[in-house]
Amino acid sequence: MSKRCGFPVTTILLGALVGCGLPLAEIRTAAESGDLEQAIRLARGELEGLQAAGRGTIVRLQSDQTSRLAALEALDLAPATASELLAGWAAPDSTVGETTRTFAQARLAELEGGGFAEELGAARESDDPLVRAYALRGLIAGGLAPERMLAAVADDAPQVRAAAARGLVRAADAGRLPDAVRQALRPLVDGAPDVEVRAQLAGLLDPTDAGDLASLVALLGAERPALRMAAARALGRLPDPRVVPEAAALLDAEVAPAGLALALAAGRRGLTGLRDAYLARIFAGTPTDDPLRTGALLGIEDGDDARALWQAALADGGPAEKTAACERLLAAEQDEDPCRDTLRGVATGGGAPEASLSAAEILFEEGDPAAAGWLRSFAADGEPAVRRRIMSGAAARRYDADLIAIGLADPEPSVSAAAAVAALRVPDPLARPGVAP
C-alpha cells in the first residue's frame, strides 16, 4: 500500500473518494457528478492519496458560487489536457450554470484557437458582466476584429473593459492593430476609469505621433505608478527619448521605477549606453536588495553586459539580488553550480522570507531534492497568497504528490482550486520528475 494513502490531510476532509488501489474505472463509477471531480480524474496516473484528498476538496469547492469562481480562475492555468473537462461544461445540455458554461467555451476557444462563435456571441448580450467578459475572451481568441474590441472598452463592467484592453494588446503584438483603432485609443488613455486599462492602452500609443506623445508626457506626471511606468516604456520606443525634455528629465532625476522602465525599454531598442548609465546610478546609489536593483537584474536582457551584472550580484548582492541574478543565470545556463549553492543558502537562511520562497521555487523546478520539502513547509505554514502562489506556480509545473496533497487540503478555496489544477497538469507517470526509473 502506498505510504501516501495515510497522508494525514485526508483525516480533515469531508469523506474520501476511494480506498487505496481502487482502479480508475471504479473511481468514475463511484464519483459524484461534479466539475472538479473530472479535473482530478484527468491527472493521468494520479496516486491514490491524491484522489482521497481531492474528494474532500471538491465537496468544499462546490459548496458555494464564490468557491466555484475561484476554481474557474485557477483553471485558467489548465493546459490542453483539460479539454475533456471543459467540453463537458461547454455542452448545450450540461447542468452547469451560464457562467461556467461560457467560461468553458471561452477557454476551449483559447486552447484551440477559436470556436463557439455563435454561443459566445449570444453570451456577449448577457446581463452578467462576468459572462460578457468570458465571452469576449473567447471571441478574441477566435480572431475578433480590433474595432469590436475597441467598442468593448466602453462596456460598463470593469471585467469586460480589462478583457478588451488585453485583446487590443494581443492584436498589436500580432501586428493586427489598424491605425484608425490606435488613433482612437488616445481619448480612452486620457479618460478611461480603470488604471489597468489606461496603462495597457498607453503602451499602444505611438510616441512619434504628436498627439500620442502629448498624452504619454502627461502620464509621466500621473499619480498612479502603473500609468507612469506604462508611459515611460512607450517613450522608450523613441529613437532617442532624450529629445523629449520630460523624458530626459525623468532619466536625470532621482532613480525611480518609471526611469528604470524607460531605460530598459531604450536598451531593448539599441540604446545600451543610456540603459547602462541608468543602471550604474541604481547600483551606486540604492541599498542592497532595493526593489530597483532586483528589478534591474530581472529586467535586463541577456547579453555580456547583463551577465556581468548578474555575476556581480551573485558575488556581492543581498538575498533578493542573489536570487534574481541566479534566476537569470540559470535560464542562460551560466554559473549553474554556484547559483544552486547560493540558492540553497538563501532558501534555508530564514532572513528574507520572500527571497527564501523564490529560491526554493527556483530550486524545486530545477529538480533539487531538498527544495520540495522546503516548499511543503511554505505551503503548510505560509499566508494564503503564498500558498496560492506555490500551487499555481511551482506545483503546477513540476509534480510532487505530497505538495499537491497539502494544497488540496487547504481551507482557502482559491488555494485548493489551484492545487486541483496542479493535479490536472500531472504528466504521464513515466515522465514525472523523481518517478521515472
**pLDDT of res. 42:** 39
| Residue 125 maps to a domain | no
| Residue 334 maps to a domain | yes
| Residue 108 maps to a domain | no
Greater confidence (207 vs 412) lies with 207
Neighbours of 431 (CB within 10 A): 12
Mean residue pLDDT across the chain:
79
Structural domains of the chain, count? 1
| Residue 30 maps to a domain | no
**pLDDT of res. 373:** 92
**C-alpha to C-alpha distance for 320 and 355, rounded to whole angstroms:** 5
The pTM of this model reads: 0.75
| pLDDT tens figures, 180-205 | 999 999 999 987 788 999 999 999 99
Q: Which domain holds residue 297?
A: 292-351
| pLDDT tens figures, 121-177 | 999 999 999 899 999 999 999 999 999 999 999 999 999 999 999 999 999 999 999
**pLDDT of res. 192:** 72
Determine the 3-state secondary structure of 41 from DSSP: helix
- CA-based nearest residue to 307, from 328, 281, 338: 328
| Residue 301 maps to a domain | yes
| pLDDT tens figures, 306-358 | 999 999 999 999 999 999 999 999 999 999 999 999 999 999 987 788 999 99
Task: Tell me the mean pLDDT in the region 65-74.
Answer: 54
| Residue 345 maps to a domain | yes
Q: Would you give the distance in Å from CA 8 to the centre of its chain? A: 31
Least confident of 91-105, 271-285, 372-386: 91-105
Greater confidence (235 vs 97) lies with 235
Task: Tell me the mean pLDDT in the region 278-307.
Answer: 93
Phi, psi of 211 (to 5 degrees): -65, -45
**pLDDT of res. 76:** 54
**C-alpha to C-alpha distance for 258 and 300, rounded to whole angstroms:** 15
As given in the structure block, the three cell numbers for residue 63 are 459548496
| pLDDT tens figures, 30-60 | 233 333 443 343 333 333 334 334 434 444 4
| pLDDT tens figures, 403-424 | 888 888 888 877 887 787 676 5
**C-alpha to C-alpha distance for 378 and 413, rounded to whole angstroms:** 17
| Residue 188 maps to a domain | no
**C-alpha to C-alpha distance for 217 and 250, rounded to whole angstroms:** 11
Name the pLDDT band for 85 (thresholds 50, 70, 90): low
Name the pLDDT band for 211 (thresholds 50, 70, 90): very high
| Residue 94 maps to a domain | no
Lookup result for grid cell 477557454: 107
